[in-house]
Structure 1
């Protein structure tokens, strides 16, 4: 239905009243269809730039432009109007319309302040819209703020986040620059929230990017998901990092971007205890954060590890720490992105993480993966490190498919592991080539015992995320 509407709208052939049998649908049925369509548009979009949605007609506006019957039902369906995007090009009247039509529903807000101060008129309109949505802070469910720069005397982030937000669950703040950064504020105790000090008791997801890590920390006591994106060369002390990530005993998902603590040593300290951590993502700049964070963190429940931009020697510190390696022996899911790792490093990985059940490999610069002959080995792998059979519990293998290079080694892995009594259960590959799925189903699936799936987008993180996260652009 959505594609048909887009097609008709693009050709100016909008439905007239009673022209289509669908106009005889009961209002409650169409309302439910519209709500489902809006949810599909929101959750299935792969475009991380909300300006693209702003530039054209969103799903709710399309539905309200089909015919008068559709318009009445769309306007009378409050859940269609809960996503409000504010940017310098947004009209205040549109914000007021969405607020009014959404009635008492929870609101999802995105505020992009890039270029907002380019004119006095633009500043006035932005402030007017900020005041509109601020008055609805009791209805906020998700809030995303992107600011190229913040003024100490006129901070939009502080204006938005000085409210009581009892229903707020998701908060993402990205701040690139500020007119003045007080050293005392940067070093302030992590236990003292800088924003939402009046309360955000349901806040479970927080992303702090750039200077937001230091200037705009909210209450962190109930978090389950935390993103620390250190995009500015302003490292924090190890003690502050430890305090931030341990504030919430329920923290289950932690994403780290940047070197985090700079040149300060990760080793020789009391372990950072994260008893409920299930998944960890790391993308470093210099490389020290990979082994350092894994050495410093004690996460007995950790199941999933994602490493981006990993290079050959980035985990050397971890390999030399037998006690740290032992803490990750029950890791189940391992993902590499944009990596350069040799056969030797892979063998160390196999030894350190012996219970892997799912391995994903994306964007290697090496070409044919050096792990392929290791995974295909029928017997124990010979190396300087005694590792036994390679990943005996491996069930799922995921990768981006190069049809000219990858087919032979994947066939070899599937065949040899099946012959050795350790068959793969599922093969997932990303490809845009038509017909690849059928050919692989025929040539690789081996008596239909192997499930083969294709994907067009890298898996969402965390794996159980049921909401859109348009700001997650630093990881694939």
Structure 2
């Protein structure tokens, strides 16, 4: 079955063009998306050229100013979103162009490959008037601050803009400056060492200066907590989305959840490549249940490759901490790490089936309102190389689907195969494969054997995708490309 894009209404096509332009604006290696779609056919060309908003997102490099000027012309009276990729320090012509239209700029995205270029850009921006600027994203490539210090000068310090969204990666601004007040979205990642561990008072003030904050993302940026000091409490009543990435050997993982109170939080994402951060979560679940009672979407990214040791199942209190969960997304480099979170669920569901057969389903179900389970893993053959009876990750997901279906519970599963990791996992040492056999207990085999086999057709929905070179392998939280 094919889909005819040409049959779509023009306003829908225009929205698709705008979305594609926004998604691809960080790719400066080829022609901009808006230019490409305008050359597909005469109809698309006409739609693109009568839609000024398609051209308001303007990619700029330090080597070509012709296309940006054309985009500005075609954008008409629209405000501008500039994406500047500075590959060297020869950025003066680019800055002259941006400064000329700074009063119409409502979003600025800067990526710099050298510290000198980034410092020059922000020094020049101090002279600009940016009354409409609402979104600022600055990314310094790895090692960009080997020469110049990690803090950049403020933009328009005499007349700071009223920012709503601030994203800093690899560099830092003064987070107590008016530039960082009143935000609705704050994202901090890979900050210089001197800024990644602020004291608690600075950390709390940074957050409380934005009482309407809805999205907070902290990657390796956490307050310095002294052992024995009483923890403060930062209450963020408007926070709806929280993303935390824990660096290895961070001593106070669970304290982070004790610091931030967000009663209206809907989405929680937690990332770590440090095994103790995961096996130590058990003690944090009661705190998380109290601090985040409204969580509907949970996203775990397990980027470690070492075993969890003797721990092979998460504590069941994990499920009770998020009773209203609707979406659970689980990403793991290593299949047993995904099974660590799913196996206790299977065990509990078998108990539910037995209770249902006796006509008295009285105890609390695990996530009765869950609509979607997404598992991104290698689905590698190690699971099949273990001793006979050891369940595979695919088998566990099938059992979850069949059993929830028999209990008349909603369930939709999406399996994303990350095959970039396959060779590494297939070459795992024999002792690792043997260690993972600890989940192959007789109790597990007996329970799984008692469950119904997966029918040829089932009423619950499943889908499978193959992820190509997912970005989160390098530690990024961005979604992988998929077919």
TM-score by length of 1: 0.70
Give the deviation of 1:85 after TM superposition: 1.6
The match for 2:198 is 236
Q: What's the counterpart of residue 412 of structure 2?
A: 426
Using the TM superposition, give the Cα deviation of residue 65 of structure 1 relative to its aligned residue in structure 2, in angstroms.
8.6
Q: Any conservation in 1 of the 2:335–2:393 contact (CA below 8 Å)?
A: no
Report SS of the residue matched to 2:351: coil
Find the aligned partners of 1:393 and 1:207 in 2 and give their Cα distance. Answer: 33
User: CA shift at 1:334, angstroms?
Assistant: 1.4
The equivalent residue for 1:399 is 375
Structure 2, unaligned runs of 5 or more: 353-362, 382-391, 420-452, 469-474
Q: Find out whether 1:350 has 2:304 as its counterpart.
A: no
Of 100, 103, 106, which residue of structure 1 is paired with 2:76?
103
Q: 2:161 matched to which residue of 1?
A: 200
Counterpart secondary structure, 2:398: helix
Distance 1:151 1:276 in 2: 38
Q: CA separation in 2, counterparts of 1:216 and 1:87?
A: 31
Mapped to 1, the partners of 2:312 and 2:286 lie a distance apart of 21
Cα distance in 1 for partners of 2:221, 2:119 equals: 30
Q: 1:293 aligns with which of 256, 273, 278?
A: 256
Higher relative contact order (CA 8 A, sep 6+): 1
- Contact 1:81/1:101 (<8 A) preserved: yes
Structure 1 residues 153 and 330: alpha-carbon distance in aligned structure 2, compared to 1, 3 A threshold: closer
Structure 2 partner of 1:227:
187
List alignment gaps of at least 5 residues for structure 1: 6-21, 118-122, 187-192, 381-386, 434-441, 459-471
Cα separation, 1, equivalents of 2:456 and 2:255: 40
CA shift for structure 1 position 268: 1.7
Name whichever structure is richer in helix by fraction: 2
Give the Å deviation of 1:164.
3.1
- Determine whether 1:365 maps to 2:334: yes
Contact 2:200/2:225, CA 8 A, preserved across alignment: no
Alignment-derived partner of residue 35 in structure 1: 14
Q: Aligned match of 1:247 in 209, 221, 230?
A: 209
> 1:129 and 1:337, CA in 2 relative to 1: closer, same or farther beyond 3 A?
same
Q: Does 1:309 align with 2:237?
A: no
C-alpha displacement of 1:254 = 0.7
Q: Give the Cα–Cα distance (whole angstroms) in 2 for the partners of residues 130 and 137 of structure 1.
A: 10
The 5 Å alignment of 1:455-466 reads: none
Pairwise CA distance, 1:369 = 0.9
- 1:100-139 matches, within 5 Å, as 100-114=73-87, 116-117=88-89, 123=90, 126-139=91-104
Q: CA RMSD for the aligned pairs?
A: 4.1
Residues 311-356 of structure 1, C-alpha deviations (whole Å, 9 max, x = no match):
4432638716955652234433211112466444343423443443
2:69 counterpart of 1:81: no
Q: Which residue of 2 aligns with 1:174?
A: 139
| Displacement after TM superposition at 1:431 (Å) | 4.8
Q: Which residues in structure 2 correspond to 1:17-36 (within 5 Å)?
A: 35-36=14-15
Q: How many residues are paired up?
A: 401
| Distance in 2 separating the partners of 1:247 and 1:61 | 42
Partner of 1:410: 397
Q: What CA distance in whole angstroms lies between the structure 2 residues aligned with 1:409 and 1:168?
A: 49
What is the distance in 2 between the residues matched to 1:110 and 1:137? 13
CA distance in 1, matches of 2:244, 2:50: 45
Give per-residue Cα distances to partners, 1:217-250, cap 9 Å, x unaligned. Answer: 6623332211011343223222222111221111
